[in-house]
Each structure stands twice: as structure tokens, then as C-alpha cells.
Structure 1
Amino acid sequence: MEHIEKLRISLRPFMLYVVSMAQFLDIVNGASVSVAIIPISKDLHFSVAMLPWILNAYTITFAGLLLFSGRMGDLFGHRRILMFGLFWFASWSLVVSFSKSPIMFIIARALQGVGAACTVPTAMALIAINYPPGPERTKAFSVFAAFGGLGAVVGTLMAGGLIGSIGWAWIFRVSSITAYILLVLAFFVIPSTLKKTGAERPRIDFMGSIASVLAVTGIVYYIIMGTEDGWASAKTLPVLFAGLICLGVFIYVESKVEQPIMPFRVWKSSLFTASVVIAFVLMAMMQGIIFYVNMIFQEVYGWSAIKTAVGFLVHALLAIVVFATLGRTIPRLSLKPLILAGFVFRCASALMFAFVTENTSYWRLPFPALIIHVFGLGFTMLPVQITAVRDAANKDQGLVGAIFNTGLQLGAPFGIAILNVISISTKGQGEGPSVAAELMKGYKNALFGVVAFGVFGFILTAIVLPWDKPVRPAKPATPETKDPEGMQESVVTEEMEFEQEAKLPL
């Protein structure tokens, strides 16, 4: 194994791009499947009631297992969990592509989400561990975020092209092939993240793990299905109660066990706690804008799926440029003003879309609104991601990444659920001059709801986040400044052995 470790050292500069591809793959999967819902439902004969499960089966397992998989990476090695996730994701993506019935498709999609849950938080942890706080970590996360922006456009365009040529099944086959390639690359470019000592093997908090999975899954299920079956429906309300009970059990168990899956020490950082809440709001806003802009393009303008994808092209391509540029400029800036400005930009973008009509030119409002939204996205998501991991010890980076992503995953369905209620309850009754105009009444009010989210996020950021100084390179720890509680001691210290042997890309 020694020669393999030497090979990993020499190839380690490529690690950032491999772990960023995990983010890319997840975004591609989400964007492409959203476009493919109609052809999938027709080919597999989905009923109207089962249609939401094309997306929801994946989302629920993905969100439910983020916390567990992130902590497993901290305990047993991030590379190991990442590679398992890639293998699992690739295998079940292949099964999805050969599905012959709705039940087979839904089960395979749910299991595919398990694999994705193992890749995203461990990818974040590997970046946070291998890049010290300061400009290096900021630039690394900007690359990570840029791959996400690229994934959005690639997923949408790829889905449109494949559906129109060789079929929707190839969306999942391409994802499978890509994941298998990443699995091989991860083996060769990511160093081992386990200590080579005789220390006691970490124990898994099984009770806490089960309770956390059931709690998050139940809450996400309720948020997603509440708009379909009713918030007080017998199909949803018991699931919410069960999820809340499991959440209570989880909190109790974590306060008692010696090695909890979620040590409460991570919440001692007010910066981290605020970042998770702000991330929740940001994702609710982002999903709201993307969803209703998509509805405006297709239902108000009457565009096809592929034309809608082209309409979003400027958004995705500019996102890559914005995130890459911010990665080099953020180290010289204070983060709080950026986040506040980002909320203003995103609110302005939502307001511009709210005043679109079926006769409004794309170039007059949607095009500039998309550009403004990209800058708002960059000014908020990247700084919040940086603040979330800034104070965390290396041994908690997987957990921190998992909690942060759980906040994002909870924010997305919550935002859509609330905004859908606003849209449905305020849309026209079909008595106006056109169906598009009547639909736009509901979309307009939903976009006002996005603005309300933004105002809340702006106020929260202004009150809670500190007026920090620009991000600077981290100084080496000294005995006098070492954390007395051992918070900076890491169970993944082997990464540090390679720091001077290979310079990572920026």
C-alpha cells in the first residue's frame, strides 16, 4: 500500500476537482430529473398521485441521511464514505435507468439518494480539512460552488438533449458512468483520512443515528407532501408527530451517550448556528425563484423545456464566473456586508420577475433579473458556506458539512411548500383575459413571498452575524493559543502529513 500512498501524494493536487465533481453530479441529477418528469411518468405509467415521488423519493432519503453520513466520515474516514457513496449512487442510478414500473423507479431513486447523502458532506469536509482557513479555503470553496453552477446548466441541457434523442434512461446511465469514474479517481487522488494509531475504534451511536434519520425524514416528508395531501391530513400529520417525537428522542440520546453522532459542542459557535439558519432561508429563496421563473417561462411565455433551459443559460454560466471571481476577492472583504448585499440583490431579482407579464420581453425583465440573481447568489451562498465551517475543528468537519446541507435540504421544500400555498390561494379563477395572466397573479404573490424571505434573512444577518474582518491566512497554533478543550485535535490528522508534500490547486 505504500506505493499507492505515494501515488496519491503526487496526484493530490487533483483532489479538489474530484470532490467538486461530487457536488456537480448531485446538481446535475436534480436538474436533469426535474426536466424529465413528464417523459418518465408517461413511459412508466405513473398515476397523478405518485408523480411527486419521482423527485421526493430521492430528496427524502438524501436529506434524512446527511447527518448520519457526515458523522460517519468524521469517525471512519471521509475518503472511505465518499467512495462508498459514489459506488452506491452509481449502482442505483443504473437500476433506475432500467426501471419498468413506478414502484421499481421510486425504490431505486430512494436508494440513489442514500449514495448522494454520503458524497456531499464528505466532499465539503475534505475541502475544509485540506485547505487552511483563509484565502486558500475560500478559493477552494469557490471552485466547489462553481462546479455546482456548472452542474445546473449541464443537467438541464443534457436532459433536454437526451430526452429528445435516446431517451430519459440515459440521464441516469450517464450519471452512473460518471460516478464510477469518480470512484476510481477518488481512490488514487484522495489520501487516507484515518489515523495510523492503536487508538480505540470509534463506536457508532446507533440509537442517535436511527432517531436522527427518522426525525429528519419525517419532517421533510411532511413539508413535501403537505401541499399535496393537506397539512392536517391523516397521511401527513402523524408523520410529522412521529418525526418530532424522534427529534426529542435524538436530543435526549445525544445528551447521554459518550460518543454522540452530533456532539452539542458544534452548536456552541453562534457563527455556525446562524449560518445554518441563514442557509435555510437562502435555499428557500433560491428554490422559490428558480421554480417560479421556470413556471413563468413555460406557463406564461409558453416555452418548451429546452427553450426554458436556454433561458436559464446566462444564469448558470455567469454563476461559474461569479463564484470563481469571488473566490479571489472574498479574502480581502468582510463577509457580512456581502451577505447583506446579496439579500438585497435577490429581493430585487424576485421583484423584477413579479412584474413580468405574458407580453414582457425576455430581455426587458427576465434577462437582467437573472443576472442580478446570480450576483445575489454569489454574495450570499459562498460567504455563508465559509462562515459555517470557519470555527469547526477538523474532527467535526463532516458533521458541520452535513448539518449545513441538512439546513439547505430542509429550506428547499419548506420554501416551495409555503410559496405554493400562496400561489394556489391567490391565482386567478380563469375569468381574466388569458389563462397565463390568471396564473401570473399567483406567481406574482409567490415571488412577493420570496421577497419576504429575503427581508427576514437580511434582518437576521444584520442582527446575528458579527462584523468580521477580511479572511486572512490562518496562523500556526501555539501552545498558548491551543484550544483548552482540544477542539482542534482531529481524528483525521493524516491529511496534515501531506500538507508540505503537495501544493493543492487554487
Structure 2
Amino acid sequence: MRKQQRLAFAMLATVQSTLIFTIALIMVPLPKIAAEFALLPTDVLLLQVAYGLPFSGLLLFGGRLADRYGGRRMFVLGLVLFGAASIIAAAAPSYEMLVAMRFFEGVGGAMIAPAAMSVLHRLFPDPKDFGRAIATWGGVSVLGAILGFVVSGIVTTWISWRWMFAVPILVALIALITTRMLLPHDGNENPAARPRLDPLGALLATAGIVLGSYGLIMTGDHSWTSAPVLVPLAASAILLAVFFVVEGRMRDPLLSPSFLVDSCRVTGLLGMMLAAVGSIAIEYILSLYLQQVRGWSPLMTTLAFLPFAVVLIATNHFSPAMVGRFGAAQTTIGGLIVAALGLGLLAGLSGDSSYLVGLMPGTVLVAVGMSLMFSGSAVLSMTNVPLRQAGLAGGVMNTAMELGPTVGLAVLMSVAATQGDVVRGYGWAFGAACLFYIVLALVAARSSRHGACAAVAHG
């Protein structure tokens, strides 16, 4: 890898990590924000989802924009919107302004993430180089999530939550300055050969994903059979069903059903989703346990996640080598098994579990497994993707990763709610996550034995 390629990759990876960092940016200081603006519970919920819903819902369309108009061009436009919204959010004088700017941050992020993947594909035209780059890229996003959680907890203990926006502002500014020097220009392909926008498909997909995500988020305060949950989930199912029917008849669809038929890609997308589920399970459930059950302060809870973050960073350094030596499928399977072991240990959670013996071993194993999963699954997700569909593939992969926490948290907390004892419920949630990991490991092993994915990124 040449020096310019290394610098370009580092810049793109930092931006990608910052997009995920920005999701977690306000999670820890939410109580302070709620007190400052005198927010009601519904206001807090809207603020929580104001970034994530447009981000996850618009990723497919963002991928199409990158494939249509060029990855570098859309990357720059997305950075401008993301950075400007972050600046205004940091100084937001009102709750309404903060929510609006979080929304526009999400729109900018949905343009940036798939565009970065398109640029990455052009930056590494050789398939082997691209595979190695993607293997490293896979662990970048989860680092952003955990660092956002840890840093926000530390920073907002002593200074204003508004300073958290300094991170996305600085990263966007540096990326805009260095883009001209580091990133390759968009190609000069014949405009007629570029994919069409497919506005109907984009509208159906975005509405379906946003409504489905909203319905799942509402399970935190309502039962699955209540109207606030059932109505958006039913509407989402109908819209997504119509989307796939329409796409099957389009000459140039936003997302062709055949794109999701590839067994390697499906395994990779499920791996990305479950790795993200593991991340939210550790961060959310253990945060509740440490603060509500054990009475830890927010700062102490944040510091408890430092080993998790350190192990993620360390494992991410050798995960690409594991993919190169053993193949993407085997690395993903290994990660699933290691993380399942960690989740199995956490399933034994009790009211007096010690941190060093009862919690840290499980979280460390989950961190190792997640890093391996993200690297292997990212490579599988991008298997056999032509350059003209790099933005689409990036959008699909990021959509799977963003939906993982939403779907996973709704399911795991519903499992926890089946138990009368809160701590036992948390243990059951970790046990359910462990079971999901084992099932996917068996499915991936079966695909690998049949040779479908065994050779991907191997050797």
C-alpha cells in the first residue's frame, strides 16, 4: 500500500468511525440535555432517533447517488452538510434546532458512508488490495460506537455536552481539506451507463426502513401488540414488500432482489448485523446493570468500558491478517464462536457479579469476537461487487449495521421483560444473543463447507 493510499484510507476510516461516533455522541449526556431544555419523555425519544432514522433510512439512496454522480462528489457534499449541521447543533439555542440539526447530520451521514465505500473501491482497484482494505474497514465502525460512548461519558462529566460536537466538526473540516490531495477523482464513465435514481424505490425503501425502525424503538415503552408498535411495523412490512415487487419489475432498480441472493453476501450482512447487536447489548444492558442495579456513577460506568474499547482496538489490528490467512468466512465463524462464549458468560449475570470476574472476561471475549466478525463480514458483504455498484453495496452493508442495534435491542429487551427479576432478565437477553450467534455460526459453516464462501479473501 502506497503512502497516499494509506493516508487516504486513514482519512476515510476516520470519517466512517466519526459517523458512528456521532450516533452515540448524546447518549450519555441525554439527562443533562433533557434538564437544560425541560424535555418530556417523548421529546427525549425524538432527540435520540433524530440522527439514526434518516441515517439508516437513506443509506440505500445515498449509495445510488454515489453510483450515479460519483463517490468523491457525494462524499464532499455529504461532509459539507454533516459538518455544517454539527456546527449549528453545538450552538443550538433550542430543542427544536438541536433535533433539526441532528436530522441533517443523519442525512449527511447517509450520503457520506456509501460514497466512502465507492471511493475506497476506486482507491484500491486490485481485488486483493480492496479485500485487505475492507477487512480493516470492518472494525472501524464499532470503534466509533464504543469510543463515542466512552468519550461522551468522560467529557460531559466535567464540561458541556456541546463540546462533543467538536469531534464531527473537526473531522469533517480535515476531510474536506485533504480530499483534493488524497482521494482519486470520479471516473469518466458514460453517463448513460450510470444507474438511474429510482425515486419510487428510494421513497418506498426509506419510508419502510424508517417506520420499521421507529416501531422497534417504541417497543421500549409499549408492548408489541400496541398501536404505537404494531401500526408502524405493519406499514413498514407493507412498504418493503411493495418495494421488492416494484424493484423486481424495474429495468434499473435501486436494489435488485438478485443482489441479495448471493449466500456469501447474505452471510456477511447478517454477520454485520449481529456484530452490531453484540455492541448494543454490551453497551446498553451493562450500562443499565451497573448504574441501576449496582449503583455506579455514569463516569465509573463509562470507565468500566475502557477494557472493551482497548481490546476492540487491539484485535482490529490483526483481524485483517486473520481474514487473509483463513478466509473471510472462517474468520466470521471464529468471531461468532468467540463472541458467543463471551455472551454465554454474561448470561450468568447476578445481582452481585464482580466486575473483574463476572463481567470483564465476557466483555473481552465479545470484543475479540466482534472485531473478527466485522472484518470477515465486511469482506463477505462486498464479495463480487462491480465498481458501478460499490455505492449500493456500501449502502446495503451500512444499513445492515445500523439496523442491527435497533432490531437487536428491541428483541433482547423483550426477552429480558419475560422475567420478573430485572437481573435475570438481563442474563436471558445475553443468552438469547448467544443463541443467535451460534445459529449464524452453524449457517455460515454450512455455506463454507459447500464451497460458496470458502475462497473469499483467502490466501
Please, what TM-score do these two structures have when normalized by structure 1?
0.83
Residue 412 of structure 1 deviates from its aligned partner by 1.4
- C-alpha change, 1:236 and 1:356, in structure 2 (3 Å) is closer
* Residue 43 (structure 1) shift: 1.0
C-alpha change, 1:100 and 1:81, in structure 2 (3 Å) is same
Of all paired residues, the percent bearing the same amino acid is: 23
Give the partner amino acid of 1:458: A
> What's the CA shift string for 1:200-242, capped at 9, x where partnerless?
7753211111111111111111111233233333333332333
Matching residue of 1:339 = 332
Residues 1:305 and 2:291 are matched in the alignment: no
Quote the residue 1:354 is aligned against.
347
Asked if the contact 1:128/1:389 (under 8 Å) is kept, the reply is: no
Matched, 1:295 2:282: no
Structure 1 segments unaligned to the other structure (5+ residues)? 1-8, 429-438, 474-506
Change (3 A) 1:368 1:210: same
- Structure 1 CA distance for aligned equivalents of residues 119 and 65 of structure 2: 13
Q: Distance in 2 between matches of 1:232 and 1:183?
A: 47
Aligned equivalent of 2:373, options 360, 365, 380? 380
Q: CA deviation at 1:426?
A: 0.9
Could you tell me how far apart the structure 2 residues matched to 1:332 and 1:394 are?
A: 25
CA change 1:470–1:78 in 2 (3 A) is closer
Structure 2: how far apart are the matches of 1:64 and 1:146? 22
Q: Report the secondary structure of 1:79's partner residue.
A: helix
**1:196 Cα deviation from its structure 2 partner:** 5.7
Residue equivalent to 1:459: 442
5+ residue gaps in structure 2?
Answer: none
**Displacement of 1:387:** 0.9
Hey, what does 2:455 align to over in structure 1? 469
- Summarize the Cα distance change of 1:147–1:201 in structure 2 as closer, same or farther, 3 Å threshold: closer
Alpha-carbon separation, structure 1, partners of 2:145 and 2:34: 22
The SS at the match of 1:204 is: coil
Partner of 2:457, secondary structure, is coil
Q: What is the CA–CA distance in structure 1 between the aligned matches of 2:142 and 2:398, rounded to whole Å?
A: 16
CA RMSD, 1 decimal: 2.5
Name the CA shift for 1:338/1:176 in 2 (closer, same or farther; >3 Å).
same
**Contact 1:28/1:154 (<8 A) preserved:** yes
Task: Return the offset for 1:413.
Answer: 0.9
Distance 1:199 1:52 in 2: 44
> CA separation in 2, counterparts of 1:419 and 1:14?
40
For residue 389 of structure 1, report the CA deviation from its aligned partner: 0.6
Specify whether residues 153 and 403 from structure 1 end up closer, same or farther in structure 2 by C-alpha distance, changes over 3 A only: closer
Q: How does 1:358-437 map to 2 (within 5 A)?
A: 358-428=351-421
Moved more, 337-346 or 398-407: 337-346
Q: How does 1:149-160 map to 2 (within 5 A)?
A: 149-160=142-153
Aligned CA distance change for structure 1 residues 203 and 84 (closer, same or farther; 3 Å): same
The structure having more radius of gyration, on CA atoms, is 1
- Residue 350 of structure 1 contacts residue 451 of structure 1 at CA under 8 Å; is this kept in 2? yes
Change (3 A) 1:332 1:256: same
Aligned to 1:440: 423
Partner of 1:35: helix, strand, or coil?
A: coil
Superposition deviation, residue 334 in structure 1: 3.0
Q: Matched residues in 2 for 1:248 and 1:363: separation?
A: 48
Q: Which moved more, 1:188-197 or 1:372-381?
A: 188-197
SS of the equivalent of 2:41 reads: coil
Q: Deviations over 1:112-132 (max 9, x none)?
A: 111111122222332234325
1:47-74 C-alpha deviation (Å, 9 max, x unpaired):
1233222221211111100100011111
Aligned to 2:162: 169
- The aligned counterpart of 1:330 is 323
Give the distance between the partners of 1:343 and 1:146, measured in 2 at CA. 14
- Are 1:45 and 1:102, in contact at CA under 8 Å, matched by a contact in 2? no
How far does the alpha carbon of each residue in 1:101-157 deviate from its partner, in whole angstroms, 9 at most, with x for none?
A: 333322221221111111222223322343256652343234434543543454234
Whether the 8 Å contact between 1:331 and 1:470 is mirrored in structure 2 is no
Measured in 1, the distance between the counterparts of 2:228 and 2:372 equals: 40
- Structure 1 residues 235 and 472, CA, compared in 2 at 3 Å: closer, same or farther? closer
Q: Does the 8 Å CA contact 1:69/1:117 hold for their aligned counterparts?
A: yes
> Within 1, Cα distance between the matches of 2:248 and 2:191?
28
CA gap 1:351/1:273 in 2 versus in 1, 3 angstroms: closer
Aligned counterparts, 1:101-250, within 5 A: 101-132=94-125, 135-195=128-188, 197=190, 199=192, 203-250=196-243
Verify the 8 A CA contact 1:266 1:396 in the aligned structure 2. no
Contact 1:150 1:317 survives alignment (8 Å) = no
Q: Aligned partners of 1:247 and 1:118: how far apart in 2?
A: 21
Greater shift, 20-29 or 264-273, is seen at 264-273
Q: Do 1:289 and 1:450's aligned partners in 2 also have CA atoms closer than 8 Å? A: no
Q: 1:195 to 1:35 in 2, by over 3 A?
A: same
Query: How many residues get paired?
Result: 455
- Give the counterpart of 2:247 among 241, 251, 254: 254
Aligned to 1:93: 86
**1:146 touches 1:324 (CA, 8 Å); kept in 2?**
no
Conservation of the 8 A alpha-carbon contact between 1:332 and 1:470? no
Residue 83 of structure 1 corresponds to 76
Does the residue aligned with 1:348 lie in a helix, a strand or coil? helix
- The 5 Å alignment of 1:54-69 reads 54-69=47-62
